[in-house]
């Protein structure tokens, strides 16, 4: 088997990165855009020692779970890898992704529960980050997502997984930018004004916070006028900010954000708690699915503990801690990002919460230097998972249980393996679908800590 070969493949399984899995001459082939039970003709794009990659040229016999994507841009956009698969079957595949990670990476014999579906499968995505570019010939502004494996912007006029107001705002920005002398960013030459448009939508209020990320060191008059024009055009826009990012970097946000019109936040409600979300605040992309997760955690604590002392580690703006504060004696929230801690303190005032402490520290460093003990530890680390140092501190400081919220089944499985080797017992693993039509899946693992 060589590159550019055309081969017939029977798709047998599904990978954790959203590829169909087949075999050819004993070699595993990962096939983009394939569904288990498909029979396809595929073109080999890369051959390695132990596996190959391929793309579909023709679906000879489609899987009974293959459907027509509801977005015309699905194949070229790359954001919704699984949109051609029936939603109920997507959930089964995501459960299998988690189960495979737990069994193969974690080496654990634990049955994963069925995935809790997202309450919405369209217009669920409430944080939109569109890279901006500009065509060479016509000079048109392009706004959308990058093509898979590239930095080529796919110009998207309608995205069904985000609120429709976002399409209207982006189209307005495309058409009006030139009236204010605002150009699109050219990555290769580091030229042009507008690098990204970031929108944060509140499911509770329908309001939108718009942030223009610019390739500039300071705000200029044309930019101020453009921001005010956007604010005045849309009743649902709560405010328009400008983020200054003149660096040659793939990081979206620069260090400084300036409010130019309206308010610099939108309000979101989860479990009857109000959160003010800023331009660069970390907050769940799918609020309704996030609410399912937080309710699951809160219900578990309520049913099994009476006024526990809780550690909320890697807390962000203390969203989980705030949501479970009603059933806790005390919540100690630890987060490294200063802005997130400031937002958390604002939320405490907004919701009149008095039993939460906010600590602006690296989680591992805070744990290392504290002698406090906690009935429950809740940890929601980034995709890379927890460090062994942090896990060791959880073991030292935790009295009863650890609730591990994870966005990456692989690192969750790795960390569960380590904890089990230290004497922990995994009581349950509950997946949640936070990102319909993608291979991503959130999980909540309930872990009993060894008794000292």
Residue 407 falls in the annotated catalytic set:
yes
Q: Where do we find the tokens 């997130």?
A: 340
Q: 224-252 pLDDT, tens per residue?
A: 999 999 999 999 999 999 999 999 988 99
Q: Is the dihedral of CA 62, 68, 74, 78 positive or negative?
A: negative
Q: Which of 77, 229, 407, 420 is catalytic?
A: 407
Average pLDDT, the chain: 94
Residue at 83 is within a domain: no
Confidence of residue 452 (pLDDT cuts 50, 70, 90): low
List the CATH number of the domain containing 333.
3.40.50.150
Q: 178-230 pLDDT, tens per residue?
A: 999 999 999 889 999 999 999 999 999 999 999 999 999 999 999 999 999 99
Residue at 323 is within a domain: yes
pLDDT value at residue 1? 83
- The length of the chain in residues reads 452
Same-domain status, 217 and 347: no
In 92-247, which ranges are E strands? 127-134, 141-146, 153-155, 194-201, 208-214, 237-244
Q: Supply the range of the domain harboring residue 351.
A: 92-119+286-448
pLDDT at position 70 over 70: yes
Confidence of residue 139 (pLDDT cuts 50, 70, 90): confident
Q: How many domains does the chain have?
A: 3
Percent over 70 (pLDDT), the chain: 100
Lowest mean pLDDT among 91-95, 369-373, 398-402, 412-416: 369-373
Same-domain status, 322 and 385: yes
pLDDT value at residue 154? 85
Q: What's the DSSP call for residue 81?
A: T
pLDDT value at residue 148? 76
Same-domain status, 139 and 263: yes
Of the candidates 270, 305, 320, which is a domain's last residue? Answer: 270
């Amino acid at each position: 088997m060589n590159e550019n070969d055309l081969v017939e493949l029977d798709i047998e399984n599904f990978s954790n990165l959203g590829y169909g899995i087949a075999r050819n001459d004993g070699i595993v082939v990962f096939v983009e855009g394939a569904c288990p039970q498909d029979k396809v003709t595929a073109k080999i794009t890369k051959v390695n020692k132990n596996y190959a990659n391929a793309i579909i040229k023709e679906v000879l016999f489609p899987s009974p779970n293959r459907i027509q994507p509801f977005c015309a841009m699905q194949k070229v956009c790359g954001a919704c890898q699984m949109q051609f698969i029936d939603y109920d079957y997507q959930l089964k595949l995501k459960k299998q992704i988690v189960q495979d990670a737990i069994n193969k990476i974690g080496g654990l014999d634990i049955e994963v529960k069925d995935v809790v579906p997202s309450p919405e499968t369209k217009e669920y995505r409430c944080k939109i980050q569109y890279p901006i570019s500009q065509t060479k010939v016509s000079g048109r502004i392009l706004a959308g997502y990058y093509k898979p494996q590239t930095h080529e912007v796919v110009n998207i006029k309608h995205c069904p997984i985000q609120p429709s107001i976002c399409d209207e705002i982006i189209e307005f920005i495309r058409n009006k930018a030139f009236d204010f002398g605002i150009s699109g960013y050219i990555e290769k030459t580091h030229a042009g004004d507008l690098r990204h448009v970031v929108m944060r939508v509140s499911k509770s209020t329908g309001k939108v916070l718009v942030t223009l990320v610019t390739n500039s060191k300071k705000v200029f008059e044309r930019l101020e006028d453009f921001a005010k024009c956007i604010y005045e055009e849309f009743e649902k826009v709560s405010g328009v900010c400008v983020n200054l990012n003149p660096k040659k970097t793939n990081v979206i946000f620069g260090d400084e954000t300036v409010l130019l019109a309206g308010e610099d936040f939108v309000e979101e409600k989860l479990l009857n708690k109000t959160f003010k979300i800023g331009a660069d605040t970390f907050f769940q992309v799918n609020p309704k699915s996030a609410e399912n997760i937080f309710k699951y955690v809160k219900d578990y604590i309520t049913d099994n503990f009476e006024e526990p002392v809780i550690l909320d580690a890697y807390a962000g703006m203390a969203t989980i801690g705030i949501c479970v504060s009603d059933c806790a004696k005390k919540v100690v929230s630890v987060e490294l990002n200063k802005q997130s801690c400031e937002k958390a303190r604002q939320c405490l005032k907004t919701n009149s919460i008095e039993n939460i402490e906010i600590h602006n520290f690296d989680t591992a460093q805070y744990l290392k230097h504290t002698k406090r003990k906690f009935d429950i530890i809740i940890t929601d680390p980034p995709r890379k998972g927890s460090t062994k140092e942090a896990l060791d501190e959880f073991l030292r400081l935790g009295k009863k249980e650890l609730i591990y919220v994870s966005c990456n089944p692989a690192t969750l499985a790795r960390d569960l393996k380590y904890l089990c080797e230290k004497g922990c017992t995994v009581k349950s693993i509950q997946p949640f679908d936070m990102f319909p039509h993608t291979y991503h899946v959130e999980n909540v693992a309930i872990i009993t800590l060894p008794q000292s």
